[in-house]
């Protein structure tokens, strides 16, 4: 084991690194959290657990069972240490069953186990959409063309009681242009075809919009302080980091300054970095020292931490465009569907028909949105 970095503040013996607000701990979170936290003492557990387990095994359900059994003691511990007003937020990606174009159910089974066996409530399910996700697995998506790109992670927001403390006012989104028009020009209150009664209140300008449970965050970190530091020091960056905006959304919405945030599967300690910047107390536990070595850099730069990395997003990236699925439905369906569901790999003998991407006349869409082929 290499020597842990120099103390920054009062550290406990087992701390790998600490600041006045939090600490990174090397070890198994099952033991560490049990020792460190009394029952009902934590406000938010924000984490992304490992899900490689599923990939390494052969077929779906057995894996899912094993994964859920592995997770259960963590679920019980999390339930014990969370305050009744606390929250557990789990970012978890789906997985393909090796060799087949079908998906594991493990993350849904995890959710059901946490609710049925550990007693959590599902406060709300979120989806993190990564517009920069690559089209994999190539065999199903780009070669046989029988599945589409999987570009979302599930984010389960659970709570020990139905009443976790929360406010969507902390995470408001900018108004869309359509909403701005509506606020400018007014809205005539009426009953919608869906039966919803849209009242006059709909046209009150609240300054910003209530966000949906779809979080659009392109995961494109390429020149961050963390990556530059890892490169310079010859440290392998953590391969499965989440973008800081993901924990930030939930830390803002679900905790106040001074509250306690825990990440039991901390990796490179993104959760700790965000909690430190937002003045929450934090504890991040990670099993592998290499990941903590890189993570320390998140707290060790000379500049004021609150400045963060210089913004890497262009102004036009505040909004991501999503296709209306009918954008390219223009009457040209192309080849018949593979009768065997794509089981046999077809070698294309004839030149594929050129993609037809003409717009439907009835739909007003920006030209830049129209490409029929990925
Ligand atoms: C998906 S990664 C988390 C990445 C992290 N969110 C980030 O952005 O860097 C999951 C991490 O959990 C760690 N881990 C697995 N079992 C653990 C345990 N029992 N205690 C602590 N950490 C564990 C793994 O080593 C891995 O780094």
User: Which pLDDT score, from 0 to 100, does residue 224 have?
Assistant: 80
Spell out the residues 6+ positions from residue 320 whose beta carbon is closer than 8 angstroms to its own. 129, 131, 216, 218
CA–chain centroid gap for 50, Å, is 13
**Ligand 1 pocket check for 236: Cβ under 6 Å:** no
- Domains of the chain (ranges, CATH numbers): 5-173+210-317 (3.40.50.150), 174-209 (no CATH)
Q: Strands 82-93 and 152-159: what pairing?
A: antiparallel
CB distance 104 to ligand 1 below 6 Å: no
How much distance in Å is there from the Cα of 133 to the middle of ligand 1?
A: 21
pLDDT digit string, tens, across residues 284-314: 999 999 999 999 988 876 554 444 555 555 6
CA–centroid distance, 204 to ligand 1, in Å, is 44
Find out whether the beta carbon of 90 lies less than 6 Å from any atom of ligand 1.
Answer: no
Active site residues: 48-49, 91
Cα(first)–Cα(last) distance of the chain, in Å? Answer: 47
* Token pair for 121: 């409530």
| Gap between the Cα atoms of 29 and 267, Å rounded | 12
Mutational pocket test of ligand 1: of 52, 235, 240, 265, the residue with most ligand atoms within 8 Å of the beta carbon: 265
The residue whose CA is least distant from atom 10 of ligand 1 is 50
Distance CA 100, CA 140 (A): 9
For residues 186, 188, 190 and 196, what is the CA-based torsion angle, rounded to 10 degrees?
-10
Q: What is the pLDDT of residue 373?
A: 27
Residue 112 and residue 134 in contact, taking contact as beta carbons nearer than 8 Å: no
17 Cβ below 6 A of ligand 1? no
From the first residue on, what is the mean pLDDT of each consecutive set of 10 residues in the chain (374 residues)? 53 85 96 97 97 53 79 98 98 92 94 98 97 92 95 97 97 82 72 66 77 92 81 88 95 98 97 96 95 89 51 64 85 90 79 53 39 26
Closest residue by Cα to atom 1, ligand 1, is 50
């Amino acid at each position: 084991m290499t020597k842990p970095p120099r103390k920054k503040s009062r550290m406990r013996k087992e701390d790998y690194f600490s600041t006045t607000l939090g600490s990174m701990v090397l070890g198994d979170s099952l033991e560490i959290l049990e020792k460190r936290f009394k029952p009902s003492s934590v406000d938010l557990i924000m984490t992304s657990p490992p899900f490689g387990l599923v990939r390494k095994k052969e077929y779906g359900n057995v894996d899912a069972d094993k994964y859920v059994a592995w997770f259960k003691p963590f679920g019980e511990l999390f339930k014990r240490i969370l305050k009744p007003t606390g929250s557990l937020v789990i970012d978890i990606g789906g997985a393909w069953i090796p060799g087949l174009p079908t998906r594991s159910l493990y993350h849904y089974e995890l959710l059901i186990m946490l609710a049925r066996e550990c007693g959590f409530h599902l406060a709300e399910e979120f989806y993190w959409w990564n517009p920069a996700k690559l089209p994999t697995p190539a065999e199903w998506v780009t070669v046989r063309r029988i599945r589409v790109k999987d570009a979302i992670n599930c984010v389960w927001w659970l709570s020990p009681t139905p009443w976790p403390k929360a406010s969507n006012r902390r995470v408001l989104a900018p108004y869309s242009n359509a909403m701005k028009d509506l606020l400018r020009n007014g809205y005539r209150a009426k009953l919608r075809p869906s039966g919803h009664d849209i009242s006059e209140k709909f046209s009150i300008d609240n300054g910003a919009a209530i966000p949906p449970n779809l979080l659009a965050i392109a995961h494109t970190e390429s020149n961050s302080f963390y990556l530059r530091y890892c490169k310079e020091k010859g440290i392998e960056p953590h391969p499965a980091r989440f973008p800081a905006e993901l924990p930030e959304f939930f830390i803002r919405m679900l905790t106040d300054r001074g509250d306690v945030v825990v990440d039991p599967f901390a990796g490179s300690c993104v959760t700790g970095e965000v909690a430190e910047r937002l003045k929450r107390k934090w504890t991040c536990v990670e099993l592998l020292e290499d990941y903590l070595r890189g993570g320390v850099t998140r707290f060790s730069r000379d500049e004021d931490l609150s400045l963060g990395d210089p913004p890497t997003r262009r102004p036009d990236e505040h909004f991501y465009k999503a296709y209306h699925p009918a954008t390219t439905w223009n009457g040209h369906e192309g080849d018949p569907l593979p009768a065997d569901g794509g089981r046999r790999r077809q070698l294309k003998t004839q030149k594929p028909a050129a993609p037809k991407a003409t717009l439907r006349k009835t739909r007003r869409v920006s030209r830049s949105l129209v490409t029929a082929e990925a």
